[in-house]
């Protein structure tokens, strides 16, 4: 785990949370409040997810490292996941891994994935231009 990179990531998300809260309180903001509330929720979830990816020991290390660097992680204590949230996160990850392992062996699932990829290729393949803006010329 890179403490410096993790701390910077958390700082960046905290900056986004602060900025969005300030914009939400601002009377001169042209963006609708509902959009700003969605953005705020997104940043809060991103912050929680970043903390969920760390073990409790790593969370303590990051907090101590930030204090040593003189950085205040304002929302760290607010969004620190509880044991119940961590357990739910672990169950979700395990369920996803089991699903992927099971479905990767399923021939129908493999065919569906291949069909989806072919559809994507047909969408993103460059079109051949015909004549002037595709209006005139050879067909």
Give the number of other Cβ atoms within 10 Å of residue 99's Cβ: 10
pTM above 0.75, yes or no: no
Assess whether pLDDT exceeds 70 at residue 102: yes
* Three-state secondary-structure class, residue 53: coil
SS3 content of the chain, % helix, strand, coil (to 5): 75, 0, 25
pLDDT, tens digit, 9 for 90 and up, residues 116-138: 888 888 787 766 666 666 566 55
In eight-state DSSP terms, residue 50 is: H
């Amino acid at each position: 785990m890179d403490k410096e990179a993790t701390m910077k990531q958390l700082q960046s998300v905290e900056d986004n949370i602060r900025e969005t809260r300030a914009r939400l309180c601002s009377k001169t903001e042209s963006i609708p409040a509902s959009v700003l509330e969605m953005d705020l929720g997104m940043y809060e979830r991103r912050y929680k997810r970043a903390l969920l990816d760390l073990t409790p020991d790593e969370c303590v290390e990051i907090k101590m490292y930030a204090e040593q660097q003189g950085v205040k992680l304002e929302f760290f204590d607010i969004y620190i996941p509880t044991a119940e949230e961590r357990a739910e996160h672990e169950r979700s990850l395990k369920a996803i891994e089991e699903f992927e392992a099971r479905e990767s062996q399923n021939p129908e699932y493999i065919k569906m994935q291949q069909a989806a990829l072919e559809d994507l290729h047909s969408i993103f393949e460059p079109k051949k231009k015909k004549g002037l803006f595709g209006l005139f010329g050879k067909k």
